[in-house]
C-alpha cells in the first residue's frame, strides 16, 4: 500500500510540483519583460534612436520567446522535465565525484597525516605507540612540530552489537565505535573543527566532549544512529563486542550526546572513550589472568596534523629509525593518499561514472532538446517567413529559437540544482556506499552546474534547427497561402 502511494506521489504529484516553479519563473520573466517594455518605451525618448530601438527590442523579443514557449506548454513541459531529471542525475554523480576528488587531493599546508602499519591492513598498533608517536611529532623542529593537545588523534574501531548472539546481528542493533580520546573531537575531525561549526553546534560538541571526559562510559552517537537503534540521549546500554575482534568484552555505556545535525557525514558514527576500552582490557586481564589478544593491537589509526610537507618528511624519517617502531613497522602518509589507496578498488567504477555515464546523459539531453526544438521550428516555418517579411533579420530569427531553448534549458537546470542543493542536503545527502563513505552532499558549486548544463544542452540541441529557421526563405510564406 505504501509503495502504491509513493508511486502515485512520484508519478502524478511530482511532475506537477516540479513544473510549478517553472511556470512561476516563466510568468515572472514575462512580467519583467512587459514592465521592462513599458519602461524602455518611456526611456527611448531620451536615448539616441539606434540605442533606443535596441533597448525596446530586448523586452519585446523576450515576450515573443516566452509566448512561443507558452504556446505548446505540453511540449515545453516535457522537455523541461526531461532536462530536469537528467541534470539531477548528473548533479548526483558530480557531487560524489567532487567529494571523492576533494578527499584525495593533497592540500598544501596544515593537512592531516596518518600513521599506519607499513605493510598490511588493518593496522593493529600497540598502545605504547601513542606516546612514542606523539613525542616524535612534538619534538620536531620549530615550524614543524605538532601540539599534543590539539594536533593528534588515535582511532580504534570496535564493532559491537546490542545482542550477544552473532547470528542476530542487524543494522538495528550494531554499533561500530570509533574509540578515541574525546579531545580529538574538537580539533581533528573533518567538518567538526570548532572554527568550522556554527556557534551553537560548536558548543554542542564541547558539551559532548566534556560529558565524555566526566563519564568515561559516555558515548556520542549521531541522531540517525539513535533512531536506527531506537534509543534516546540518556539511555544506558549494554553492548557486546564482536567475538572475532574484542572477544568476551562488553561495555556498559550511557548515551551522553549527539552529533550536530549539520555534520551529516557522521550519520552512522558512534564515539567511545578510549580510556574505557583500555580499562575494559585491563579488567579482562585481571579477571582471567591472561592478557587479551587485542591488548597490544588496539590502535588502528594515528592522526597527526602537520604544517607542511617538510614536517611530514621529517616525521617519516624518525619513524624509519631502526629499532624504534618495528612491531609493527609503520609508515606515514597524507590522509588524502590513504583515501586514494582505498578508492583504488573503485577506480574503474569512478572512471566509468566520469567518462562514460555523464557524457552519455549529456548527449541524451542534447538529443531531447534537439528533437523538441526541431519540431517547434518545423511547425512555425510559415511564421518565420512572415517575421522576415516584416523585417526581422536572419540572426534575430536565430535568436528567437536559441532563446526559447536556452530559457527552457537554463530554467530546468537551474531550478533542478537549486532544489537539489537545498532539498537533498536538508534530507541528509545522497546515500551511495563507496569504500567507507556513506553519504555525499551536494556542493555549492552545483548551483552553477545546473544552468550551465542546461545551457549547453540547449545550445547544442538547438543550433541546427535554429540555423534552419534562420535560413527560411521569405517566398515560403506565399507558398502556403496559394
The footprint of another protein (CB under 8 A) covers 11-12, 15-16, 19, 73-74, 77-79, 82, 85-86, 89, 117-122, 159, 166, 169, 174, 176, 242-245, 247, 293, 327-329, 331, 333, 337, 340-341, 344-349, 352, 356-357, 360-361, 363-365, 367-368, 370-372, 374-375, 378-379, 432-433, 435
Rank residues 87 and 205 by Cβ distance to another protein and give the closer one.
Answer: 87
- Cα separation, 439 vs 185, in Å, equals 20
CB of 276 to another protein, least distance (A): 21
CB of 47 to another protein, least distance (A): 31
Rank residues 376 and 425 by Cβ distance to another protein and give the closer one.
Answer: 376
CB of 211 to another protein, least distance (A): 27
**Core vs surface per residue 260-283: b (16+ CB within 10 A) or e:** beebbbbbbbbbbbbbbbbebbee
> Which residue stretches of 169-259 are H helix?
184-187, 199-214, 223-229
At 212, is the secondary structure helix, strand, or coil? Answer: helix
Question: Pairing mode, if any, of strands 250-258 and 301-306?
Answer: unpaired
CB of 166 to another protein, least distance (A): 4
DSSP for 100-111, please give it.
HHHHHSPPSSSE
CA 477 to chain centre: 53
CA 475 to chain centre: 55
In sequence order, the 6+-apart residues with CB closer than 8 A to the CB of 459 are 402, 405, 406, 409
Rank residues 211 and 368 by Cβ distance to another protein and give the closer one.
Answer: 368
Report which of 256, 71, 276, 258 is spatially closest to residue 160, judged by C-alpha positions: 276
Rank residues 346 and 392 by Cβ distance to another protein and give the closer one.
Answer: 346
**Does an H or E element contain 25, and which?**
helix 14-44
CB of 341 to another protein, least distance (A): 4
CB of 372 to another protein, least distance (A): 6
Rank residues 217 and 381 by Cβ distance to another protein and give the closer one.
Answer: 381
Rank residues 67 and 236 by Cβ distance to another protein and give the closer one.
Answer: 67
Q: How many residues does the chain have?
A: 482
Amino acid at each position: 500500500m505504501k509503495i502504491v502511494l509513493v508511486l502515485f506521489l512520484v508519478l502524478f504529484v511530482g511532475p506537477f510540483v516540479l513544473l510549478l516553479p517553472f511556470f512561476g519563473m516563466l510568468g515572472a520573466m514575462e512580467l519583467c519583460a512587459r514592465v521592462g517594455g513599458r519602461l524602455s518605451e518611456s526611456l527611448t525618448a531620451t536615448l539616441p534612436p539606434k540605442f533606443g530601438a535596441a533597448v525596446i527590442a530586448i523586452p519585446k523579443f523576450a515576450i515573443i520567446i516566452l509566448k512561443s514557449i507558452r504556446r505548446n506548454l505540453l511540449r515545453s513541459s516535457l522537455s523541461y522535465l526531461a532536462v530536469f531529471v537528467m541534470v539531477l542525475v548528473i548533479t548526483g554523480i558530480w557531487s560524489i565525484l567532487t567529494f571523492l576528488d576533494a578527499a584525495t587531493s593533497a592540500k598544501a599546508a596544515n593537512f592531516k597525516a596518518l600513521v599506519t602499519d607499513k605493510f598490511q591492513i588493518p593496522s593493529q598498533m600497540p598502545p605504547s605507540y601513542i606516546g612514542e608517536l606523539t613525542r616524535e611529532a612534538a619534538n620536531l623542529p620549530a615550524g614543524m612540530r605538532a601540539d599534543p593537545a590539539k594536533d593528534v588523534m588515535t582511532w580504534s574501531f570496535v564493532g559491537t552489537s546490542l545482542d550477544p548472539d552473532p547470528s542476530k546481528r542487524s543494522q538495528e542493533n550494531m554499533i561500530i565505535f570509533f574509540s578515541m580520546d574525546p579531545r580529538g573531537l574538537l580539533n581533528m575531525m573533518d567538518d567538526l573543527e570548532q572554527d568550522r561549526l556554527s556557534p551553537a553546534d560548536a558548543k554542542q560538541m564541547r558539551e559532548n566532549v566534556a560529558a565524555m571526559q566526566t563519564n568515561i562510559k559516555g558515548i556520542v552517537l549521531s541522531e540517525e544512529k539513535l533512531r536506527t537503534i531506537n534509543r534516546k540521549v540518556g539511555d544506558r546500554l549494554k553492548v557486546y563486542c564482536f567475538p572475532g575482534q574484542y572477544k568476551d568484552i562488553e561495555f556498559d555505556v550511557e548515551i551522553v550526546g549527539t552529533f550536530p545535525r549539520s555534520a551529516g557525514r557522521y550519520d552512522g558514527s558512534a564515539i567511545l572513550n578510549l580510556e574505557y576500552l583500555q580499562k575494559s582490557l585491563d579488567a579482562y586481564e585481571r579477571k582471567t589472568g591472561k592478557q587479551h589478544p587485542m591488548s597490544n593491537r588496539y590502535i588502528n589509526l594515528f592522526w597527526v596534523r602537520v604544517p607542511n610537507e617538510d614536517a611530514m618528511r621529517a616525521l617519516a624519517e624518525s619513524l624509519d629509525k631502526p629499532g624504534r617502531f618495528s612491531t609493527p613497522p609503520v609508515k606515514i602518509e597524507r590522509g588524502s593518499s590513504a583515501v586514494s589507496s582505498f578508492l583504488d578498488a573503485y577506480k574503474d567504477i569512478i572512471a566509468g561514472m566520469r567518462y562514460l555515464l555523464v557524457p552519455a546523459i549529456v548527449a541524451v539531453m542534447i538529443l531531447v532538446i534537439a528533437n523538441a526544438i526541431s519540431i517547434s521550428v518545423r511547425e512555425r516555418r510559415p511564421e518565420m517567413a512572415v517575421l522576415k517579411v516584416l523585417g526581422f533579420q536572419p540572426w534575430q530569427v536565430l535568436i528567437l529559437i536559441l532563446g526559447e531553448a536556452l530559457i527552457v534549458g537554463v530554467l530546468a537546470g537551474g531550478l533542478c540544482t537549486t532544489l537539489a542543493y537545498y532539498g537533498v542536503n536538508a534530507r541528509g545527502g545522497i546515500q551511495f556506499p563507496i569504500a567507507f563513505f556513506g553519504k555525499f552532499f551536494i556542493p555549492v558549486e552545483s548551483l552553477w552546474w545546473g544552468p550551465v548544463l542546461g545551457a549547453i544542452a540547449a545550445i547544442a540541441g538547438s543550433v541546427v534547427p535554429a540555423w534552419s529557421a534562420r535560413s527560411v526563405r521569405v517566398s515560403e510564406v506565399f507558398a502556403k497561402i496559394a
